[in-house]
Structure 1
């Protein structure tokens, strides 16, 4: 399915002009946050990278460092995220999830389950380059058991990327999963891993259909009844992303804002990372499922410059 983002390349882009506008926004007393939003939320990532380089050329200073000294809170996090390349941002988020106080398993699950093999390879390389450590080693140092094994399997970026569906194998895969779970005492999670982390998307759609014929239930219901905790969460995320990544992100955004308080880490990460890829489609799924626009949710749940920049990334209501 063709997908589209809310942020596209600026048609009259001039990196020198943008660099000068950003410098002006930070000079003197106070900071012109509106000017920063105007520049960074209205061009694509490639153009922002050019502006970063131009800023250094013109002023002999690092744009990110200057912005960090001027901004704070969630607004700063969005701005800094926008100035990273896509794989840099994924690597940065994973690093924070592992190296912070405790482990943010939800972040590991969201990124690892939703990214394509090419995207996983890209952020794995950046992680090693930026932090001098292996992402696999860091994940293994912070997780354990079958949950760790699922993450390591995803990290190999070894999912079949063809569109071939082997009908007989799909039936066998569905039976294997059924027998490893609902049809047996205890659960053989390794069988779920060997199918859900390895087979291509089209084939897995067929597996899910065959599974429903055999068990009379959706595979998500079986995962919920057979597993718990992080393992349940990662397998559900994989299945949901196989079925429809945009629907998965719409659900994550909804959960980040519903009820009391806001999970700003999730909200920021998805808005920054998906704005140029499939935000329009995510918005569509959000409205269909929840009967309210993503724009209105963000508007009601956030405030100040943080709200303003998120609404720009969200695009029209």
Structure 2
């Protein structure tokens, strides 16, 4: 099988260098790489060209329109039987393509997604953010890297679709705000077979500090409402959990001022949540420091998502603004 690896890029030359370096180490060699520079000011042309001879790589430049439409641009030019999408801030294990090829040969999927993890070289903050984005105790547990919570939806940091899917479903119809989730839902609606390939993981850097992380997750909370506008049946009770959590923190704070009896119960529940996340992160990362940072990242994730969700729920659903 011939794969076309598609990577949209916006002002991240160093990241694409590290990603392409990991692709040169792939044990499976039957693939091409398409890098789409989406109107970057700080472009990566020279970096990408330095990999010519090591990779079958093509570099394109287009006006900025967002990652969804950059991927569409690549779909139209890809030669592969199967398209694989990565975010530019990923590192790819050397057996990734071999795992995907073996899995699709044994159990065909029209589209697939894979999990993400923290690389040993990541900073403690990046490892903490990775924990919060994959933990079963945060929204990370429902973002496409686990089985068992509703319909599986691949996400664009680690996602593959067959050429047949693209020919029938077309490309992305929105370019930001959960464009990958909307695309996955649409692929499902057309009857294609979608699944998780558990061993096809990538190392996803995500954000490098908590302020960037807050902004990203706030955006994700808003994005859930954007998906609702296209697919109303996809808004489930579980998607309200971060908003409930955020409101419960506010209620706990108010209770501590005005009603100590209620405050005692709220504080006990909050303490149990803190201990659960802290010790789970400690066991997973074998580091008290990363466990503490994971606790911070988890609370940022839940509240940022909750605030973004509530913001656009109020504006776009209650007030019906576009």
* TM exceeding 0.5: no
Query: TM-score, length-normalised on structure 1?
Result: 0.29
User: TM-score scaled to structure 2, two decimals?
Assistant: 0.28
Q: Where is the strand percentage greater, Structure 1 or Structure 2?
A: 2
Greater fraction helix: 1
